Amino acid sequence: MLKKATFMGLGLLLVGGLLFGSRIGPYAQTAVKKIRNTAEQSVPLTFQIDAARDQLKKIEPEIKNMVWQIAKEKAEIKRLEREVETQNASLTKKHEELLTLRNHLKSGETVYVATNGKAYTNARVEEDLRHRFSMYQTAEKTVDKSEQILDLRRKSLEQALAKLEQAQVHQRELEIELENLNARQRMVDVAKTASSINIDDSQLARTKSLIDEISAKIDAEEEMLNLAPKYLGEIPVSEGDVSADGDIAAEIDAYFSEGAEANLADGNLARNDK
The architecture in CATH of the region 44-91+133-192 reads Orthogonal Bundle (1.10)
* 77 or 183, which is more confident: 77
Contacts of 108 (CB under 8 A, 6+ apart): none
* 121 or 31, which is more confident: 121
pLDDT on residue 82:
96
pLDDT tens digits for 237-272? 555 555 555 577 777 777 777 655 555 555 555 555
Highest averaged pLDDT of the listed ranges 25-34, 51-60, 88-97, 174-183: 88-97
Q: Delimit the domains of the chain by residue range.
A: 1-42, 44-91+133-192
* 1 or 60, which is more confident: 60
Does the structure show a pLDDT above 90 at 162?
A: yes
Mean pLDDT of 13-17: 52
Mean pLDDT (the chain, rounded): 77
pLDDT on residue 56:
82
Under the banding of pLDDT at 50, 70 and 90, the label for residue 2 is: very low
Mean pLDDT of 131-155: 95
pLDDT on residue 44:
77
Contacts of 168 (CB under 8 A, 6+ apart): 63
Q: Which residues pair with 112 in a beta bridge?
A: 120
**Weakest-pLDDT range from 105-114, 153-162, 239-248:** 239-248
Does the structure show a pLDDT above 70 at 33?
A: no
Tell me how far apart the alpha carbons of residues 128 and 257 are, in angstroms, rounded to a whole number. 181
CA neighbor of 95 nearest in space, from 54, 55, 129: 129
Amino acid at 149: I
Helix axes 122-196, 45-57, angle to 10 degrees: 160
Mean pLDDT of 196-212: 72
pLDDT on residue 86:
95
**Weakest-pLDDT range from 86-95, 129-138, 202-211, 232-241:** 232-241
List, in sequence order, the alpha helices (H) in the chain: 2-20, 24-42, 45-57, 59-107, 122-196, 202-232, 248-273
Q: Which residues pair with 119 in a beta bridge?
A: 113
Q: 115 by DSSP, 3-state: which?
A: coil
pLDDT on residue 38:
58
Under the banding of pLDDT at 50, 70 and 90, the label for residue 50 is: confident
Helix axes 2-20, 24-42, angle to 10 degrees: 140
Tell me how far apart the alpha carbons of residues 257 and 249 are, in angstroms, rounded to a whole number. 12
Does the structure show a pLDDT above 60 at 64?
A: yes
Q: What is the pTM of this model?
A: 0.51
pLDDT tens digits for 118-141? 888 899 999 999 999 999 999 999
